[in-house]
Structure 1
Amino acid sequence: MPYVLLAVGVAAVLLTLNAHFPRRHPWLLVPGFFAGWLSIELAPHLLVAEVAGMGSAVAFGGLEGWPGWAGLALGAAGAAGTIAAMAASRRTVVTLEECGVPLDLDPERAPRYPVSHLIVPPLCLIPRRGVKVQRNIVFHEQERLRLKLDVYTPAGENTAKGLRPGLMEIHGGAWVIGDKREQGLALLNHMAVQGWVGFNVNYRLSPKATWPEHLVDLKCFLKWYRQHAAEYGADPGFLCVTGGSAGGHLTAMVALTANVPEFQPGFEDVDTSVQGAVPFYGVYDLVQPGPWPVPMGATALMQRMVVKRPFHEEPEAYAKASPVNYLREDAPPFLVIHGSHDSLIPVAEARRFVERLRETSASPVVYAEMQGGQHGFDVFPSYRTARVVEGVERYLTGLHRQYREGTHPSVHPGEHPAVPGEITESLE
């Protein structure tokens, strides 16, 4: 039993070290990410498991030899690191407030995220009370291709209040995996409770799909939305877009390539603009290495499965797939969210994108850097996820209010501080 306690202690320390100092070595990247993702965003659950494991080992004689005492010391250090991760998560509200998200907007109609979901994370898979989900609605059909979406709408007494703001959710998964049933659920449920209509959209995946087919599919949704949004209670003239990872990249592309004919073949005259964008931990530049050892476009994933062109021979193909190359003055407002401990997409990727976007856009560009946050942190309904979800809803509600009032969000010269850092910025 002393060696069992030692094993528990070693595991606790390794999880803590990986959480606070993410591994970026190629061989450790994927396992390090999953371990950090679980141990950071489920830190309270991990702490309970660590304490229970050490307590059980001690109760059955784990301290009868030096390995047990060493294991207890290591376990205590690991538990302390887990508590530190929890403390970093608790600063989420401070980060959101300092970066300019209007958390006090209409506080009387902002119910907190349900505590039950924080205790039992799988509950987020079940629609919340007051939310109706209509699944597998076909929004684009061509020959054998049938693209589907799920719609999240207010239910019950909240249904008859006129046309509502719409939100498009784009799932991630490195452009090759993922599904509408897996991501964005916490946000879409919360938005529906607050009176929004959410659309969780699927698109073709690589290697079957070749860029820019992913983006074209999402533009097809925008065409469908203009025609059918009112049938689901949504305003055809107001839509914001969000998504994480590859979905964050696609979110930025959707927001910045409005009405670009190349990405909407056959429906070039359709308005594909959106009124706001909230990309989570996305990739924004496939050409410049920056925080990457090599450019993202030069990876085997992009060359063999997604874009399917040799990077060094056709760099222009990767430039055309990079949101940073579509920056413009009339870009919609952005709220860019990234975790400081992201081991898959370095946080510097978000910082440099925000800096470039602010140099060009006349709309607000708000940047929220989640201290201690890993890649995909919002998949689990953790404390950090709950506060970010609430913050995103407050931010987008502010944009919708301005839309109804006929005003456009703007910033004054000199309002944007340097990146990185917290941002103080108001929507006017």
Structure 2
Amino acid sequence: MSYVLLAMGLLFALTAANAYAPRRSPVLLAASFFVGWLTIELAPHVLVAWAAATALLAAFGGLDGWAGWTGLVLAVLGIAGVAATLAASRRTVVTLHDSGAPLELDPEGAPRYPLGHLIVPPLCLVPRKGVRVERNVVYRQEGRLRLKLDVFRPAGERADGELRPGLMQIHGGAWVIGDKREQGLPLLNHMAVQGWAGFNVNYRLSPRATWPEHLIDLKHFVAWYKEHAEEYGADPDFLCVTGGSAGGHLTAMVALTANVPEFQPGFEDADTTVQGAVPFYGFYNFFEPGTFPRPFGTTRLMERMVVKQPFAENQETYAKASPVTYLREDAPPFFVIHGSRDSLIPAVEARRFVERLREVSGSPVLYAEMQGAQHGFDVFPSYRTARVIEGVERYLTGLHRQYRQGRTPEVPDEVTRSLGEPSVG
């Protein structure tokens, strides 16, 4: 039993070390991310399970001999390491404050994220009380192509009869996997409780789809929204967009390429502008080296599955697929969110994008780098996720209030200047 405790203690210590410093080598990248992701974002559950397992082995003879005591020390070190990641997540509110997010917006009237979801994460798959979900609404149909979305909105109508602000959610999955049923659920549920109409949108995936078909599909949704929003109680003139990972890249592309004819074949005259963007841990530059030794466009994923063109001979194509190519003064407001321990897309990529966008854009560009967070941190309804979701809701609600007042944000803190109006819901 002592050697079992030794093996378990070693596993705990290595797992905690990986959560603190994830491996970025090609061989270990996927496994390191997956294990670190679960360890960090489910830290309270991991701590309880590890402590219970350690105590159980110790009680049944695990401390007989040097191996058991060594295992106990390693297990305690591992538990302490995971506890440190949990402590880092407690700085989420400080990070959001420093970013400029208006956390004080309606501090008394805004519901907090439900504690039960933090204790039992799968509860986020169930619509929250007061939220109505309409699934598999077809927003684009051409021949055999049928693209669908799910609508999240309050169960009742607004008391004042006004239309609700809309939010488009784009799932991630490296442009090749993913589905509307899997991502964005904690955010969409919370936004619906706060009076928003959320649209979780599917789009064609590679390798069947070739870039820019992914973006074209999402542009079709924006055009569809302008025509059909009122059927779901939403304002066709107010739509924000959010998404994570590949969805973060596509969020930025949707926001920055409004009305670009190349991405709207056959519906060039449709208005595809959005009023705000919140990309989570996205990729923003395919054609310039950054934290990687080579441009991301040179990867097998991009050359063979997504863009399907050799990078060397088609660098302009990869530039056109990069949000940094479309930075402009009239860009909509951005709230960029990334994790400091993201092993798939390092945070420096987000920092570089934010710096360039701030140099050009006349709208607010907020950036929150979540300390200790891995890629995909918001999939689980953790403490960090709950606070980030609340911050995003306050930010987008501030933008909507300015829209109702006929004003356009000009500086990052302007979203906090209209606190006197009633909340959206």
TM tier relative to shorter chain: over 0.9
- Post-superposition offset of 1:145: 0.2
The alignment of Structure 1 onto Structure 2 pairs a total of residues equal to 416
Shift of 1:103: 0.5
Shift of 1:293: 2.2
Describe the SS at the equivalent of 1:109: coil
Which stretch shows the higher mean deviation, 362-371 or 150-159?
Answer: 150-159
Structure 1 equivalent of residue 255 of structure 2: 255
Moved more, 101-110 or 269-278: 101-110
> Which residue number in structure 2 is paired with residue 420 of structure 1?
none
Distance 1:244 1:346 in 2: 14
AA paired with 1:390? E
Tell me which amino acid in the other structure corresponds to 1:142. Answer: E
- 1:7, distance to aligned residue in structure 2 (A): 1.5
Q: Contact between 1:338 and 1:368, CA under 8 Å: does it hold in 2?
A: yes
Tell me what 1:279 maps to: 279
Compute the displacement of 1:3 (Å).
1.0
Unaligned stretches of 5+ residues in structure 2: 418-425
SS in 2 for 1:52: helix
Q: Distance in 1 between matches of 2:52 and 2:346?
A: 34
Distance 2:60 2:414 in 1: 58
CA displacement at 1:159 relative to structure 2: 7.2
- Tell me the residue number matched to 1:88: 88
In the superposition, the TM-score normalised over structure 2's length comes to 0.97
- How big is each residue's C-alpha offset from its partner over 1:4-52, in whole Å with a ceiling of 9 and x where there is no partner? 1111211110111100001000000000000000000000000011101
Is 1:180 aligned to residue 180 of structure 2? yes
Q: Secondary structure at the match of 2:62?
A: coil
2-structure distance, mates of 1:177, 1:292 = 23
The SS at the match of 1:57 is: helix
State the Cα deviation string for residues 129-154 of structure 1 (Å, max 9, x = none). Answer: 01000000000000100000000010
Deviation of 1:266 after TM superposition, in Å, equals 1.0
1:30-109 correspondence runs (5 A): 30-109=30-109
State the partner residue of 1:370.
370
Determine the C-alpha separation between the residues in 2 that align with 1:291 and 1:357. Answer: 19
Q: Counterpart of 1:328? A: 328
d(CA) in 1 for partners of 2:142, 2:335 = 34
Task: State the distance in 1 between where 2:159 and 2:10 align.
Answer: 53
> How many Å separate the matches in 2 of 1:176 and 1:161?
41
Determine the C-alpha separation between the residues in 2 that align with 1:300 and 1:157.
Answer: 49
Amino acid at match of 1:109: G
Please state how far the C-alpha of 1:292 moved relative to its aligned partner: 1.3
| Matched residue, 1:421 | none
TM-score by length of 1: 0.96
> How many angstroms does 1:157 deviate by?
6.7
Check the 8 A contact 1:276/1:332 in 2, yes or no. Answer: yes
**Letter of the structure 1 residue corresponding to residue 106 of structure 2:** D
Q: CA–CA distance in 2 between the matches of 1:159 and 1:294?
A: 55
Map 1:142-291 onto structure 2 (within 5 A). 142-156=142-156, 161-291=161-291
Take 2:396 and 2:292, find their aligned partners in 1: how far apart are those partners?
A: 31
Residue 136 of structure 2: aligned partner: 136
Once residues 271 and 387 of structure 1 are traced to their aligned partners in structure 2, the CA distance between those partners, rounded to angstroms, is 33
Which letter does structure 2 place at the counterpart of 1:269? D
Indicate if the aligned counterparts of 1:12 and 1:74 stay in contact, CA closer than 8 A.
yes
Q: Do the aligned partners of residues 159 and 124 (structure 1) sit closer, same or farther apart at CA in structure 2, a change above 3 Å counting?
A: farther
2:380 aligned partner = 380
Render the CA deviation track for 1:288-342: whole Å, top value 9, x for unaligned: 1111122110000000000000001111110000000000000000000000000
Q: Work out the CA distance in 1 between the residues paired with 2:314 and 2:164.
A: 44
Paired residue for 2:420? none
Tell me: CA distance 1:160–1:205, structure 2 relative to 1, closer, same or farther (3 Å): farther
- In structure 2, C-alpha distance between the alignment counterparts of 1:42 and 1:135, rounded to whole Å: 28
Counterpart CA distance in 1 for 2:350 and 2:99 is 14
SS at match of 2:366: strand
Report what 1:317 is aligned to.
317
Matched, 1:393 2:393: yes
How big is each residue's C-alpha offset from its partner over 1:365-394, in whole Å with a ceiling of 9 and x where there is no partner?
000000000000000000000000000000
Identity %: 73
Letter in 1 for 2:405: E
- Shift in alpha-carbon separation, 1:191–1:24, aligned structure 2, 3 A: same
Q: Is the contact made by 1:100 and 1:426 (CA closer than 8 Å) also made in structure 2?
A: no
| Cα deviations by residue, 1:248-303 (Å, 9 ceiling, x for unpaired) | 00000000000000101111111100000000000000011111122110000000
Q: 1:159 to 1:6 in 2, by over 3 A?
A: farther
| 2:132 maps to amino acid | K
Secondary structure in structure 2 of the residue aligned to 1:136: strand
Q: Give the secondary-structure state (helix, strand or coil) at the position aligned to 2:108.
A: helix
Shift of residue 158, structure 1, vs aligned partner: 5.3
